Amino acid sequence: MPNQSESNGRSWGLLRQVAQRVLPSFVLIFSCITAPLVAEPASEKTYLGIVKSVDLFGEVYREVATGYVDKIDTSELMYAGIDGMLRSLDPYTVFLDEEDSGELDEMTSGQYVGIGVSIASLDDAFFVTSVVDGYAAAKAGIRVGDTILAINNKDVRKMALADVKAMIKGVAGTSLTFRLARQGSAAPVTATLVREEVRVNTVSYAGVMKGIGYIEMKSFSARSADELRAAFRGLQRDAQEQRVPLKGIILDLRNNPGGLLNAAVDVTSLFVGKGSEVVSIRGRSAESSKSYLTETPPLDAAIPLALLINGESASAAEIVSGAIQDLDRGVIIGERSFGKGLVQSVIRISYDNALKLTTAKYYTPSGRLIQKEIKPAHESRKVLPKAPEGNAQQIFYTKKGRKVYGSGGITPDIPVSEQAMFPFLAELRKKGALFLFSNGYCASNALPPLLPLDRQKLMASFDDFLRKKKFVYTSDSERHLTELKESLKKSQPAEGLPELNTLGALQQEILKLKEQEIGKESSRVAQALEVEILRHYNERLARRAELDHDAQVNKAIEVLSDSRKYASVLHP
């Protein structure tokens, strides 16, 4: 059984590697933070406790691996044990296998090897959903809406999405051949491409709207500050060309999951004075506690600034927004941020695996803890000490004395809720109806349309498309009513059930209400169709069309355009 032996060897090696990494760390920590006379017994006790625990874990693992009634995968058993151990801590302390470790490198470096496309599975086919300008796919003429039929002569139509994505990525300099179906083209389209390093820009869009510069950042990588600086300079040039003064900057951090700590500090340093504290981290030892200050003069320390955040703004995005708020450098608009304020250190371990370990917590300049309260997935064992009372009622003060409250996450100065997506529109997006309809539209129109389109004509075409696709939308009320009817039928014979007649009448009323709601939302559906159609031609045109109807963006433009209103937020 060579595979089983190899698996056992890898698992035991991994266990030894964890022990070798953990034990010296505990000894070092206790040596550094404890007085000499106390350090030796404390470190010895801790050391012996870890040795005992590792030995116990190894013994249980060995007995299960060799004696369990069914044959098991010993590597997966080891990983399950590690995952179970880490789940008792927090959601962010995780074990990364070789594939996960590679994805982490991709995220933090801001680049990957590929051809510059995004794909999705819709309507039982794989579609190209975006093409990055300047890279292999764009150079080869691949378009948004193309359907992937085969890669390197291998039919992919029955494959899993993850497997197709894996085929596209590879070693830089190697080639691959696509066979594509394109609406409006009778014969398949063939394209041969060479894989290359694709740079993933963290600044995804920048533009001037009504004299206000808008910059959207999707993550924080090593190049984020340089990208933001370049975007800012570009906005200044655009404003000059439009012959309007640049009255303010909107930095959109909504749906930004964060990234590198140093990138957050560098981004903040573009707008605040040199030597300003951006964030502090406090860990278990003195060595893991540190304050991060800006080290360079700002790009612009005076231009009015508004940051947009929502419930998906996390980590580095919260560091930036928390610092800007505490230093009274700009106004925060939107919804409370996610509340992810834990520092992870990536420890490389054997067999190209890694351990992402929480080692400290983030605090804003005023002293607020960014991290919201979290409960471990398993509470049967009290691994962590009981947390102190939360700081929800604690009052903190900004540099100019404004009150801010600690409760995890960043609370905006001006709350503005995002417009909730109507369930019918959400279902259209989920099933790819907007995307597929736009494919057909673009096949018949070579140039992007001028907005607004004739919405009455557009919606008539879309309704016809939905009928042909046999698209069915079932509301939550309809689903609940169906479940109730089925429950009644099971409880007793249908004969003599007057309740069913009542439910039948109710069903008709629900259908009427659904049609009324769909009618009321037709303008939003038409707007979404316009954006999706534009996206097939040009991502920038589509994004600009979206922003024109964005309530939070429009609020930021309103505040930045009115100097008195802006000042009243920062000087209450």
8 Å CB contact between 227 and 284: no
b vs e for 414-426, b when ≥16 Cβ sit within 10 Å of the residue's Cβ?
bebeeeeebbbbe
Question: Of these residues, 75, 219, 221, 315, which one is catalytic?
Answer: 315
Torsion angle of the four alpha carbons 426, 430, 433, 436, in this order, in degrees rounded to the nearest 10: 140
Distance CA 197, CA 172 (A): 6
Question: Of these residues, 146, 326, 413, 550, which one is catalytic?
Answer: 326
Has 90 been annotated as catalytic?
no
DSSP 259: B
Distance CA 272, CA 322 (A): 13
Distance CA 106, CA 259 (A): 11
Which alpha helices (DSSP H) does 251-351 contain, by range?
261-269, 316-326
123, containing H or E segment: none
- CA separation, residue 387 to residues 48, 356, 410 (Å): 26, 22, 21
Neighbouring CB atoms inside 10 A of 261's CB total 20
What the block records as the tokens of 518 is 């769909």
Question: Of these residues, 340, 438, 485, 555, which one is catalytic?
Answer: 340
8 Å CB contact between 130 and 118: yes
**3-state percent helix, strand, coil for the chain, nearest multiple of 5:** 45, 20, 35
3-state class (DSSP) for residue 334: strand
Distance CA 244, CA 236 (A): 10
Has 300 been annotated as catalytic?
no
Which residues neighbour 388 within 8 Å (Cβ) at sequence distance 6 or greater? none
DSSP per-residue codes, 446-493: SSPPPSSP-HHHHHHHHHHHHHHTT-----HHHHHHHHHHHHHHHHS-
Which residues neighbour 26 within 8 Å (Cβ) at sequence distance 6 or greater? 43, 46, 47, 50
DSSP 422: P
8 Å CB contact between 533 and 465: no
Has 340 been annotated as catalytic?
yes
Catalytic residues: 315, 326, 340
